[in-house]
Amino acid sequence: MQRHFSVPANFETAIAQALADYKLSLNDSKELAKCVLALSDFFINEPEGQTPWHESWAQVAYLCYYLPLNAARLRAVIAEGEKRGFFQDLEEVMDFGAGLATASLSLSESQNLKYTLIERAAEPQRLIEKYFPFFKSEEWIRTINKSKIKNPGKTLALFSYSLTELSDLPDWAYDCEALMIAEPSTQQDGRKLMQVRTKLLEKGFHVWAPCTHEGPCPLLTQSKTDWCHDRIHFDAPKWFLSMEEQLPMKNRTLTTSYLLVRKTKPAPIHAARVVGDTLKEKGKDRQMICRGPDREFLAWMHKFKIQQEIPRGALIELPPDLQKVSNELRVPVELTIK
């Protein structure tokens, strides 16, 4: 069962209203694509540069391209958290490096929390307040320190595509009850996030998702190249597909690396998590799984005539009597996806 996520209708309405002030519409696919390419080129040429929020082309690119894509990714992360009750008893959110507040916007769809947005640039605040009136924040602030966290035991520290710009989490985040971190699913950012996981465990946090265990991460300790990320299917609206035809980047599936941790311990979960795409090999198909400190693979031997491709990031139930050969679990039956 593949996981599909789309652009919420209220997001599309807000984007269309914003584009109208730039004398554009959702149907102006060529002009929208030019803005997206301009911002993409900026990030390639100046990877350490600050987002040029003052430029109208950057604003258009974020609204019509990055906002829909990141909203789909974040909705997938939030859905996993809600399955486990991760947001229960939390009351406040500190959204660090909020940008267009995509994470808070997405979270507010289902979680009635108090949102404080931390963002140095002033332009994102104007865009959110003007075009997304259904979202209400407590305040926008430029900087933050521990004194701003009034109720740490009920506070979620939210980092969406902002940790990539930091060497470490800020000190105030470690005082909060919960952290939600979503990062680009690149090798560099993904492995950095796995290292952050190790530090958070050492500081007494517990992983709620995506991990099903709190042992050493096998993708980090037993490989120099692997990194943890989930994959979802993006149900793009027609106007997005038309714009995408003008771009070299295609987004039928999206990936993200994330962590949901709390100081409160979660209920135990008895499942393995699929952390690899299907590998077609001679005589068998394989998919990497994670359920502890060992690097393991499911193996469907072709002689059993079972073909099952499990979505990356899905949780599965493993029969207790699976034959293990080296690092492979031989699968003679179709597995149950939780």
Q: Which residue has the tokens 């994959």?
A: 231
Q: E strand or H helix at 92, and its extent?
A: strand 92-96
Per-residue pLDDT for 130 more than 90?
A: yes
What pLDDT band is residue 47 in, cutting at 50, 70 and 90? Answer: confident
Mean confidence (pLDDT) of the chain: 94
Taking only the tens place, the pLDDT of each residue in 52-66 is 999 999 999 999 999
What is the rounded average pLDDT of the residues 26-46? 96
Taking only the tens place, the pLDDT of each residue in 133-177 is 999 999 999 999 888 899 999 999 999 998 887 888 999 999 999
Q: What pLDDT is stored for residue 1 in this prediction?
A: 60
Per-residue pLDDT for 22 more than 90?
A: yes
| 253 Cβ contact list (under 8 Å, min separation 6) | 231, 232, 233, 234
The counts of H helices and E strands in the chain are 9, 17
- Where are the extended beta strands (E) located within 199-325? 206-209, 230-235, 253-262, 272-274, 279-281, 284-290, 296-301, 315-317, 323-325
CATH architecture of 8-262: 3-Layer(aba) Sandwich (3.40)
pLDDT above 70: percentage of residues in the chain: 99
What is the rounded average pLDDT of the residues 114-126? 95
Per-residue pLDDT for 227 more than 70?
A: yes
What is the rounded average pLDDT of the residues 282-298? 94
Tokens representing residue 262 in the block: 């709390």
Q: Which residue has the tokens 């800020």?
A: 170
What is the rounded average pLDDT of the residues 63-83? 96
Closest CA to 76 of 227, 187, 206, 182: 182
| 300 Cβ contact list (under 8 Å, min separation 6) | 284, 285, 286, 306, 307, 308, 331
Torsion of CA 141, 145, 149, 155, to 10 degrees: 80
What is the rounded average pLDDT of the residues 98-108? 96
Per-residue pLDDT for 304 more than 90?
A: no
Which residue ranges does the chain devote to CATH 3.40.50.150?
A: 8-262
C-alpha 227/C-alpha 229 separation (Å) is: 7
Q: Considering the entire predicted model, what is its pTM?
A: 0.94
Per-residue pLDDT for 324 more than 70?
A: yes
Length of the chain counted residue by residue = 338
